[in-house]
Amino acid sequence: MTKLKELFSDTLIYGISSVLARFIGYLLVPLHTAVFAEGQYGVITLIFAAIALFNVVFQMGMESAYIRYGKDRDKAQSFFTTIQLFLLISSGLLVLAVWLAQPAIAPILGLQVGDSILWMMLGILFFDTLAIVPFAELRLERKSISFAVIKTGNVVVNLGLNFYLILGLNYGIEGVFISNLIASTLTALATTLYTLPLLKGSWNTDFLKKALIFGLPFIPAGFGHAINELIDRFFLKSMDPATVQQLYGPDYTSDDIVGIYGACYKLAVFMLLIVQMFRMAWQPFFMRQSEERSAPKTFSQTFSFFNLAAAGIFLSVALFTEQIVSIKIPILNFYLVDAKFWEGLNIVPVLLMAYWFQGWYINFSAGIFISETTKRLPQITLFGAGITIIANLTLIPFFGMMGSATATLISYGAMAMLIYYYSTNAFRVPYKLVSGFGVMLTATATFYLKPYIMGYGYNEWLVSGTLLILGMLIILGITYRSVKSIPDTASAS
């Protein structure tokens, strides 16, 4: 349990910074949904989706490559210098390539050729890329406090500028991207200054080759993940107007649907938070523990405790979704999500479950990294991307936003099971998979009991609170039995 305490400690520190950053950043949702129309918010949603897609190519898997090879501290300076210089050159060339391709790219994002927002998007991509390896160094050295301070500072600057530019200077959606660009620039400078001593290393072509061999498989893998999470916005934008009218009425356009979907998708951030904060601590942790004899048992315990935490998030958000969006921000008097976006609230439980499966994927990824079989990652994620595309094309014409959310759930579930198969074959861990599904099914059944009980006229707060407590008690019992049944000794193979 000592090793789990170390993981929990790192996760807590990363988590506090992530929770704080996400909480502060989430204040942009009431601002943007209150100030901008559904269609304008749809454009913002599409551009940030494009940034996430381009990030995959710009970053080239170098974050994971540095975590893998930078742990050799005798060679860390040369690894750091080589990778950072390579990213500086490659990202500059990619910025030029995207700018030249703007006649094809701009219309997809709802922009005009030469629009200043496209320049700002490219600037965000460039500076975010320069910060990834310094952030990886902070994680590798367990400098979680410094990591948290810089991450939180990024969000505070972004938030403050959004409010100033949009409410104070009436900048419109341009203010959103100016704020992000300035925050990304300052973050790149801060991380560079903090890791400046590592830039004393020398360029090493062999190190770069090793990093590229390890990291490049993350490009198709990253595209798979980005497609799973982001491509649905573009499918929704391309919905036939007749389908939009049939599903949502004559007052809506496809841009409106993208905006509503993007706003309600933000509520799944609560599950994404626990997944991301866990991932930040998990990757360096399992690499440090990989040669320990107790590693398989530790990894299995981690999976069980992760499910306990995820179940708590799922039930808390799914049971109280309407109460959460109805919260008003003091002084501004904005709803957490403006009422004109509540049309899509039914997608929230489905997306929470999808992110839960993403957490499984991250849990199971340990064996892939430890065995250095990262070639499996593009196979798995592209398989998931294929499911996402097919499911979106099949379901959106009939179910609209719910079809997209369901496609995401199906894809993440399939990917989690596939990586489980490959990972446990490469590095045997006695994961309690049946118990994990038991926790998921218990949480889902608890949530879907609510409308039946509400039919008897009981108070909604009372019903939701009672179901939350009862559901978590059952899940605690499942988790306890799961952890107790993990064998004391288990060997990797």
What's the rounded Cα separation, in Å, for the pair 256 and 238? 12
Chain segment 227-284, per-residue pLDDT in tens: 877 888 889 988 888 999 999 988 888 888 988 998 888 888 788 878 877 877 777 6
SS3 content of the chain, % helix, strand, coil (to 5): 80, 0, 15
- Give me the helices (H) in 60-173, please: 62-69, 76-100, 102-105, 116-140, 144-163
Instruction: Considering only the C-alpha atoms of the chain, give the largest distance between any 2 of them, rounded to a whole number of Å.
Output: 72
Chain segment 390-437, per-residue pLDDT in tens: 999 999 999 999 999 999 999 999 999 999 988 888 778 888 889 999
Chain segment 107-129, per-residue pLDDT in tens: 877 777 778 888 899 999 999 99
Instruction: Pull the structure tokens for residue 147.
Output: 């990591």
Please enumerate in sequence order all residues whose Cβ is within 8 A of that of 346, keeping only pairs 6 or more positions apart, or say none.
402
**Contact call for residues 381 and 224 (beta carbons, < 8 A):** yes
What's the rounded Cα separation, in Å, for the pair 103 and 289? 49
pTM of this structure: 0.77
**Contact call for residues 486 and 297 (beta carbons, < 8 A):** yes
Please enumerate in sequence order all residues whose Cβ is within 8 A of that of 300, keeping only pairs 6 or more positions apart, or say none.
429, 430, 431, 432, 486, 490
pLDDT of residue 22: 59
**Contact call for residues 431 and 300 (beta carbons, < 8 A):** yes
Nearest to 264 by CA among 353, 351, 393, 359: 351
* Residues written for the chain: 493
**Contact call for residues 357 and 388 (beta carbons, < 8 A):** no
pLDDT of residue 215: 80
